[in-house]
Amino acid sequence: MHLSSQFQVVLHEDIQDCEEILDEITSCTFFQSKTWLALLSSYDHKPYLITLVNEKKVVVAYYLLYVTKSDYLSEYSRWKVAQNFDKSLVGMHGPVILDQEVSIQNVLEHFVNYIGQHARKFRAVELIGSPVEDADIQKLNHLTNSFRVETNHTWILELGEEDKDGPSKMRRDRRKNVKKTEDIGLTFQLCESMDGVQDYVEVRNSAQRHNQLKEIPLSHFEKNWELTRNKDVYFIFLAKKNGQCLAGQAAFLSGDYLYLTGVAVSPEARSQGIPANDFLQFNVIKWAYSRGVKKIDFVGANPESKNEKLKRIDDAKSSWGSRLVSYEVIRKKTINHKKEFVIRILIKFNKCFQKS
């Protein structure tokens, strides 16, 4: 049954309007919550909240997306005018269904059609599904004329009673590494102050330098900490030896789902052959069990990659007993070629000015 006569999509871009809608909603993933909205706003990302309302104007579903300027021109302050149209529309782990009589396919049908009508405003559109919910987006191929449906992967560890003392299905080499780090005196800490945040940022940026990546400013993590520390959603874990931080891990908690992000190992741990990350992951999993977590998302997988580094990362994520999970992402198929041309020309001009 076609639902266009029964339901209507409404766009909300005012931050206060978005906060009021999300204020009473608790049964959602972190990336569809009011706390995530606050973090987005702190990074100057504009909300793009779409709701599906019935004939009685009651919200039956919503999708919290946000408008962000891509990194394509982020370092070129000279071209702020160009940045105004170098925007992307992104949504993570949505949509959220509030009325169980409405199917996910029907909700996505309305939302994808609506976004498709306004997609030309953005350089890119990316609607990231949830790894723990089967939306069966492939059924919507006939609706996504200007989009493509792709498959992403991640590693999910499901926790049960047998994991009370640590992951029961962990591989033997990981167990040996954990025993080794315990014997040499590594300690596990849950960050409880800004001092711990600074320790994490130092080890995280040492890893960034090791991988020849740009360092992340402390202010980024300070914002996360200040906005979420009293909400039990953002956590930082540390592995230390004699007060020195050897590894760090950040994570977002949403109900019984833990989303890991930003793991890093110090140069000292690498040079001394200390498997600090194995010690850290083992204890994060134990902590997660104690908090009632049922699923841990190790975030990302590349099962078909031939890149040796990516294969090693996948091997590490799978070694804890996690399973490979696939989920779908809807992306914009084409871009506005005129805008793309202008952006590329401006970048070339900027490089010429930098050399002069």
Count of domains for the chain? 2
Count, residues in the chain: 356
Could you tell me which residues come within 8 angstroms of residue 332 by beta carbon, excluding any fewer than 6 positions away?
A: 119, 122, 124, 125, 126, 146, 147, 148
- Are residue 213 and residue 86 in the same domain, yes or no? no
Taking the C-alpha atoms of residue 257 and residue 254, their distance in angstroms, rounded to an integer, is 5
Q: How many CB atoms lie within 10 A of CB 10?
A: 15
For residue 132, give both structure tokens.
């723990």
**Tens digit of pLDDT for each residue in 24-40?**
787 778 899 988 998 88
- Are residue 174 and residue 319 in the same domain, yes or no? yes
Q: What is the DSSP letter of 129?
A: -
175 in any annotated domain: yes
Q: What is the pTM of this model?
A: 0.84
What average pLDDT score do residues 312-333 get? Answer: 90
Query: What's the confidence (pLDDT) of residue 72?
Result: 45
Query: What's the confidence (pLDDT) of residue 134?
Result: 61
**Tens digit of pLDDT for each residue in 1-26?**
344 568 999 999 999 999 999 987 87
Strands (DSSP E) contained in the chain are 8-12, 46-53, 59-69, 87-92, 96-97, 124-128, 147-158, 187-190, 234-241, 244-254, 257-265, 295-297, 323-332
Taking the C-alpha atoms of residue 28 and residue 254, their distance in angstroms, rounded to an integer, is 8
Range of the domain at 67: 8-146+333-355
Say whether pLDDT at 125 is over 70: yes
| Mean of the per-residue pLDDT values of the chain | 85
Query: What's the confidence (pLDDT) of residue 138?
Result: 55
Query: What's the confidence (pLDDT) of residue 340?
Result: 65
Question: Which residue in this structure is represented by tokens 């040492």?
Answer: 206
CB 322 within 8 A of CB 171: no
**Tens digit of pLDDT for each residue in 82-117?**
555 568 899 999 899 998 888 888 888 899 889 988
Q: What is the DSSP letter of 184?
A: T
Q: In whole angstroms, what separates CA 89 from the centre of its chain? A: 15
- Are residue 113 and residue 171 in the same domain, yes or no? no
Query: What's the confidence (pLDDT) of residue 301?
Result: 92
Taking the C-alpha atoms of residue 109 and residue 326, their distance in angstroms, rounded to an integer, is 21
- Are residue 176 and residue 282 in the same domain, yes or no? yes
**Tens digit of pLDDT for each residue in 227-274?**
887 788 899 999 999 999 999 999 999 889 999 998 999 999 999 999
- Are residue 215 and residue 101 in the same domain, yes or no? no
- Are residue 239 and residue 112 in the same domain, yes or no? no
What average pLDDT score do residues 106-132 get? Answer: 86
151 in any annotated domain: no
Taking the C-alpha atoms of residue 110 and residue 102, their distance in angstroms, rounded to an integer, is 12
**Tens digit of pLDDT for each residue in 175-190?**
999 999 999 999 999 9
- Are residue 137 and residue 224 in the same domain, yes or no? no
CATH number at residue 217: 3.40.630.30
269 in any annotated domain: yes
Could you tell me which residues come within 8 angstroms of residue 236 by beta carbon, excluding any fewer than 6 positions away?
A: 190, 191, 196, 197, 200, 221, 225, 248, 249, 250, 251
3 in any annotated domain: no
Taking the C-alpha atoms of residue 56 and residue 293, their distance in angstroms, rounded to an integer, is 37
Confidence band for 144, pLDDT divided at 50, 70 and 90: low
Could you tell me which residues come within 8 angstroms of residue 261 by beta carbon, excluding any fewer than 6 positions away?
A: 250, 251, 252, 299
